[in-house]
Structure 1
Amino acid sequence: MATWVLSECGLRPLPPMFPRPRTGSISTTKPSTSLTSDLKNFQQQTRLQCCSFKERTRRRSWELKVSAPLRVGTIEEEEEGGGGEERISNGVVVEEVGEFDPGAAPPFKLSDIRAAIPKHCWVKDPWRSMSYVVRDVVVVLGLAAAAAHLNNWIVWPLYWAAQGTMFWALFVLGHDCGHGSFSNNPKLNSVVGHLLHSSILVPYHGWRISHRTHHQNHGHVENDESWHPLPERIFKSLDNVTRTLRFTVPFPMLAYPIYLWSRSPGKTGSHFHPDSDLFVPNERRDVITSTICWTAMAALLVGLGFVMGPIQLLKLYGIPYVLFVMWLDFVTYLHHHGHEDKLPWYRGEEWSYLRGGLTTIDRDYGWINNIHHDIGTHVIHHLFPQIPHYHLIEATEAAKPVLGKYYREPKKSQPLPFHLIGDLIRSLKKDHYVSDSGDIVYYQTDPNLSGSSTSN
């Protein structure tokens, strides 16, 4: 740097005036008076010549915007010509890196992201977690009581939208229990998780185990468990009705109950059956417990139907449940699909936990962010599901400098996230299947379906 500055000033750097001796100790003799005088004259001359240099540089733009450390090409890239081209900007050589490849292995490790996240973000506060449960349950009961009391057809649609969203919020808290991010007490997590999930007809342990499989295999074509892509051979084996319904709004947003009973095409098993392919033998008791709790809730709803009448039960519980299912499918689908740039899916040796997790997408839901406990902050949640939901935003901000372009900033939402409906429809038009071969694959489009999702 010093050589460059001096050359810009029209000067040559001086040779070392006090070289270190090759042997013996360093001399501590003071420089002579004449040498000191010569050095002062040199410094004065340097100041005068650099003044004109500073004057010239005022007319230049030396701004450099950097959001991440400069990328250093590997030896292999240099040999293969993959390090990018060089251009001259204002007399400075700048390396132009090629287009970002989301399927390339990242230049950082999972431990690098972990180290960037503040330690307090990992702390689970059961009292704080329970406060969210109390808040949501009070709102759910209050909405139901108000709607039943008013019993007005102007109020009912507002109630359905609000209560369906609150059912979804209850699911997210039970989801935290399933991950163990609710508290460090497994018994507390299990009790709260069963109460919350059973109340909205979700088998807690059955879902918890399959969701764990989803996180452990995120981004893997065959092994992922939630909204994973269909290989071409399975896609083409579907009958026309199933294929059309799967990619036509609103039918994919009603898939969750079907998934609980029979999973996705190409996979077998049920979240209710202890001998399902989803579970190992030592999880049998947990699955039976959750199925019993689910059955008890279903029986309670049947009893309430006799007490208040099926129509009132439909208005108070049935329609909000359907809207909850739509929220669940909508949010979970958009966490893994619908980005403006195609994102990879992996197989074989190309897959890793980190690379799979980096294909998830954060979404902004406006006012809904707080209501559904910031589940849209999804990348860090997928990589580190032990982080409580109330620390996800801070953890994400801390991790962004490490993630660089592997983090995709979500579009800012209006108070209500209507813009995401367009993302959903566009994705269902084009994200249909992936190739049967290849370790890094991208969604392909069936031209026969590309226009079918426009019916909304």
Structure 2
Amino acid sequence: MANCGIVKWDEDNTSLFHKMAAGLVLSGSASLIKPFTQSLPIPTTRFILNNNNPSNTIHLHFKDPIFSSKPTTNSRWAVKVSAPLIIPSIDEQDFERERVSLDEQEPEQDDVFDAGASPPFKLADIRAAIPKHCWVKDPWRSMSYVARDVVIVLGLAAAAAHLNNWCVWPLYWAAQGTMFWALFVLGHDCGHGSFSNNPKLNSVVGHLLHSSILVPYHGWRISHRTHHQNHGHVENDESWHPLTEKTFKSLDWITRTLRFTLPFPMLAYPFYLWNRSPGKRGSHFDPSSDLFVPVEKKDVITSTICWTTMFALILGLNFVVGPLQMLKLYGIPYLINVMWLDFVTYLHHHGHEDKLPWYRGKEWSYLRGGLSTIDRDYGWINNIHHDIGTHVVHHLFPQIPHYHLIEATEAAKPVLGKYYREPKKSSPLPFHLLGELIRSLKKDHYVSDTGDILYYQTDPKLSKK
């Protein structure tokens, strides 16, 4: 302990000191000092401490009838002591050391967020926080977006065909491929029923939009519904769900490499439509696939016919304008659209700096699965592709129209708390998301075959590529 300073000690108090010392010796034990049984003078509380004196001299005076005589001339003598004024017991010393030790430690992080924990709110709490008008579907407003996008698509194609210049074609491919993706998002709204309250209108518009970019509307609509209903469930989710370790290790090296090496994962969608993901069987074009129930057979056949009609139209146009012109006008924009689709949907479910949980068994719930999605900011592209990057609220409530998603998300955020992951702000073009994609493909490879709350694990061989 620190030096207590200098105590002013009167010679008349010497016998008192002897009595106190004797009492301590006779009454002490191995670990405790018992109180005195006789009445002894008690130090007064008059401690004179001079803060300006570096020695911090303390003058201690005793009051007792026995020592009522005046101090002698030797009272000016002072004794330097280094022991504390009050000698603590061994127990008190231990407690002091423990207190200091705890003070030196960093404070406990009692509020560390566990993304896999069950949230302290319910789906109904989020729903109640969202304004009622956000649930209103305006078919006229929805159709206005369709008209806008179709006019832009036709205008871009006409301009590119007219100019037919190799300085123009790359710009056209990027723009038109992005607009094809925008058409997909509107058809996606039709599939969710957020386009309008009229199922027939949703079906007609959805078929026209999706068939134009070679997507079987009902086949995709049903499998996408399965994805929303089971998102976050390792076995039951439908798209971009994790492979189990056993399935991952059963893949041949070509399939494994293609799945996790750019640009191949960004070209996966057409193959997914025909043959689904590794570990699952069936086709979006086959009405007998286990993707569908018997009552959906007619819908799947209808969509397959529409898809086939569009494919035949494209083949026919090859004979009219030539294969090279069709490749430039339609083929390359279609591939850009596929890349947008895979890019956006992948990043909705992967690539966050904090690991996202996946579930099995009783740990899974619709709410917990939906909360493991991620919002993304795409800069200028947000408006072009109808704010589909605002994805968490969309996953929880897919019936909300896209033009209300931003407002609904802002209203829901106070309820979601840390379960909402604020997206990084984008520059006009979302180039920052390329880094997120590359990092994720290097580390998010598979999950364990066992356990109910799971996180992606990494194959060291793939992480080095």
User: What is aligned with 1:444?
Assistant: 457
Offset of residue 451 of structure 1: 1.9
Distance 1:270 1:208 in 2: 13
Measured in 2, the distance between the counterparts of 1:424 and 1:277 equals 31
Offset at residue 449 of structure 1 (A): 0.4
- SS of 2:463's partner is coil
| 1:195 alignment partner in structure 2 | 208
Matches within 5 A, 1:205-354: 205-354=218-367
Compared CA separation, residues 147 and 216, structure 1 to 2 (3 A): same
Counterpart secondary structure, 2:190: helix
| Identical residues among aligned pairs (%) | 86
* Separation in 1, partners of 2:109, 2:171: 53
Q: How far apart, CA to CA, are the structure 2 residues paired with 1:144 and 1:265?
A: 37
Distance 2:256 2:396 in 1: 32
Q: Report how many aligned residue pairs link the two structures.
A: 361
Q: Distance in 2 between matches of 1:163 and 1:270?
A: 28
Aligned-partner Cα distance in 2 for 1:422–1:147: 31
Q: Who is 1:21 aligned against?
A: none
How far, CA to CA, are the matches of 1:292 and 1:451 in structure 2?
45
Aligned to 2:441: 428
Deviation at 1:198, TM superposition (A): 0.1
Kindly provide the amino acid, as one letter, of the partner of residue 186 in structure 2. L
The equivalent of 1:103 in structure 2 is 116
Kindly indicate whether residue 378 of structure 2 is the aligned counterpart of residue 369 of structure 1: no
Deviation at 1:98, TM superposition (A): 3.2
Q: What corresponds to 2:150 in structure 1?
A: 137
| Residue identity matched to 1:238 | L
Per-residue Cα deviation, 1:160-208 (whole angstroms, up to 9, x for no partner): 0000000000000000000000000000000000000000000000000
Shift of 1:96: 5.4
Distance 2:162 2:348 in 1: 38
Matches within 5 A, 1:8-23: none
In structure 2, the partner of 1:393 is 406
Name the counterpart of 1:45: none
Unpaired stretches in structure 2, ≥5 consecutive residues: 1-101
Cα distance in 2, alignment partners of residues 410 and 223 from structure 1: 27
Match of 1:173? 186
The correspondence of residues 34-183 of structure 1 with structure 2, limited to 5 A, is: 97-183=110-196
CA RMSD across the alignment: 1.1
Of structures 1 and 2, the one scoring higher in RCO (CA 8 A, sep 6+) is 1
Distance 1:96 1:321 in 2: 50
Aligned equivalents of 2:109 and 2:340: distance in 1? 43
Instruction: Give the structure 2 partner of residue 407 of structure 1.
Output: 420
Q: Considering only CA atoms, is the larger Rg found in Structure 1 or Structure 2?
A: 2
- Give distance in 2, aligned partners of 1:272 and 1:96: 52
Distance 1:267 1:120 in 2: 40
Instruction: Output one character per residue of 1:419-447: Cα deviation in whole Å (capped at 9) or x when no partner.
Output: 00000000000000000000000000000
The one-letter code sitting in structure 2 at the alignment partner of 1:372 is: H
The aligned runs of 1:25-36 (5 Å cut-off) are: none
SS at match of 1:448: helix
Q: Deviations over 1:341-392 (max 9, x none)?
A: 0010000000000000000000000000000000000000000000000000
Please report the TM-score for the alignment, with normalisation by the length of structure 2: 0.77
Q: Hey, what's the Cα distance between the residues in 2 that align with 1:226 and 1:130?
A: 28
Unpaired runs of at least 5, structure 1:
1-86, 89-93
Query: Which residue type is aligned with residue 181 of structure 1?
Result: S
Secondary structure of the corresponding residue to residue 150 of structure 2: helix
Amino acid in the other structure paired with 1:366: G
C-alpha distance in 2, partners of 1:379/1:352? 15
Q: For residue 155 of structure 1, what is the amino acid of its counterpart?
A: V
